[in-house]
Amino acid sequence: MNAWKAQNDHARVAASKDGDFTLVLMAGLLALIFASNPVVHAAEEELILKPISQGEFHTLAEARQQLRQLRSLGLHGEIEGLTKKEPVATVTLGPVNDLEAAQKIVKDLRLNQVEAWESKQADNAYVVHIPAGENINGVISRLRILGYENAGNGESERSHQAFKVIAWKPSQSKKEKDSHLISASGKVHANITGTVIASNSRKGNDASLLFHVDVFQKDLSIKNWTLLGGVQIDTVQSSEVPAHYHRELDFLPSYASYTSGNHRLLAGVDTSAWHSKLSSGNGNRLERQDNFTFPSLDTRAGIGRPISMLRWQYKGREFLFDTIWNPLFNSARMADTDTLAHPVDREKGRIRGLRVDPVLSRLIVAGEIGDDAPANGGLALRVSRQKRENTQHITASYGPRSNPYFVLNGQLQQALAQGVDANTALSNFSGDALKQVYQHSGSLALSEESEHWYFEVAFTEKEPVTTKDLRYETSFATELFVQYEHKFPSHKLLSASSVEFRNLETVEEILDRRSTARFGQLFSMHSEDRRWLWGTQARVGLDKKELYLHPFMTYQYNRFMNLRAELSLYYGESETEFGYHHEQHQLSMSWLAYFD
């Protein structure tokens, strides 16, 4: 087990007394009261929300990544399209007397793979511009080869599309006039989230208390260097029988980066920012998923967990090249074993996503679960192109997927293949009946996004599957995700509709779902003053019976704190993702406090 994984292993302590949960619950209530104290000062003056710029970005993907990070902090935000103009050194042709003549020159040049555009200089005078940079003589020579002799030096303004992220920051009063950024350079910040969760569990009703703490230093810049650091602590106390206490420490983005011209080098721990909306994560093999709680649309829309990386980025005029090497494997954050959110139900002998098999069920109930994590990570390359209002991506990645796949131990597979029954095989076996494996594979993903549309298709060489006779095999997988997002004219209502398809191409009879088809829908609305946000998310199976409903509501209580209430409802057949949690519903109340 590598050093990175050792740092992130769960720290589990069994709670032997019922009083432990009561103490944690009382501590949570006291923390809530303490965090609410600033309202005494804020109530004297009216609370307003101010639009604060969070930066301008060349691509829509970069702007959406920033917006996801804001939302992970419980803040509202939106993206605005901009048209930017910048001076460009050019070679000019002309002037010519009419627009049609200038447009014909531009068309002829583009047919010869020469970029060009026209501009009006005066009445009935038009000039054609060809970008030259520092290679003016070379451009003039090429134009003369093409038959254009009247080339000269010039300068022009060139328009390009940009995207601006706006965040809505609570201000203490209308008298406040400073428009500073939410995260001042180099400052240390902390976010504390407390959540009380009531669940309808396999053994009856259950209550849990979750504390989540982020401590981070935001963008300390020294000349061409940028330093960032932070840690995240999660603590869960549950009243399940037997009661359990779970604590986990993980990194927030923590790195040093150096920027020179169009190049950027980064070393440390960071997210890839290539979020794949495919539920498998195969659109980017290096994306580290977060399965600490129940599966929901929230985890699908997150920004992924940080991974260790060495990164090189190059931003050209039209393309962005981004290469990531993950030297140490980082597995997904998992819920504690024997809790409701864990993908293996050892009480009923089930694995999320697999059909129930009686032999496998007996082995799961009687056996243990081991881990077979690899030492090495993977490599990924993404090429992005901004084309008018759309951003196109090609992502090639190779490595182990962060989510484990649970397989039967090889020795047990051999014993069952020889006709030995499950009980006898277990009695003659010492070790873990199930192992968590992380299949290495290559994936190629093509995606395109605009202000309203998102499209992604991914092809994976080796997707793990379990055959009917409980053997571990791999299969070629194809996945597709399409989403349409629309803001209604009032800008208070957002609607997002999506479809997702997945197909495993294998001739074997398998316990996994050979094909998956789902429809998703999101509606959200905010109040005029943006203090209230409410909505509903849903996913429904198109080929199998499964349904997930997630109504939620958020209130900006004061400039220091958000309050959130949400309900998660699960229905479906046992082999489906949400049917695995059939009628194990959750009601949660959360508060999020900010400390700058």
- pLDDT computed for residue 238 by the predictor: 72
Q: How far is 73 from 560, CA to CA, in rounded Å?
A: 12
Q: List CB contacts of 523: < 8 A, sequence separation 6 or more.
A: 493, 494, 495, 535, 536
Q: What tokens were used for 265? A: 């080098």
By residue count, the chain amounts to 596
From residue 421, how far is each of 413, 426, 427, 473, 536 by CA, in Å?
11, 9, 10, 22, 48
Residue 102's SS3 state is: helix
- pLDDT computed for residue 101 by the predictor: 84
> How many helices (H) and strands (E) would you count in the chain?
10, 32
Give the chain's residues under pLDDT 70: 1-62, 65-76, 80-88, 133-135, 151-163, 166-189, 200-206, 218-219, 239-245, 292-303, 489-491, 559, 596
Full-prediction pTM beyond 0.85?
A: no
Whether the CB-CB separation of 337 and 291 falls below 8 Å is answered with: no
Whether the CB-CB separation of 271 and 255 falls below 8 Å is answered with: no
Using CB atoms within 10 A of its CB, is residue 149 exposed (0-12), middle (13-18) or buried (19+)? exposed
Q: How far is 305 from 4, CA to CA, in rounded Å?
A: 14
- pLDDT computed for residue 201 by the predictor: 59
- β-partners of residue 393 are 384, 447
Helices (H), 9-98: 19-35, 39-42, 60-72
- β-partners of residue 537 are 522, 550
Q: List CB contacts of 66: < 8 A, sequence separation 6 or more.
A: 54, 55, 57, 165
C-beta atoms surrounding 271 within 10 Å: 21
Which of 341, 335, 342, 329 shows the shortest CA–CA distance to 247? 335
pLDDT tens for each residue of 437-453 = 898 999 999 999 887 88
pLDDT tens for each residue of 383-392 = 998 777 788 9
What do you get for the CA distance between the two ends of the chain, in Å? 37
Strands 188-201, 204-222: parallel, antiparallel or unpaired by DSSP? antiparallel
Q: How far is 49 from 47, CA to CA, in rounded Å?
A: 7
- pLDDT computed for residue 239 by the predictor: 67
- pLDDT computed for residue 379 by the predictor: 94
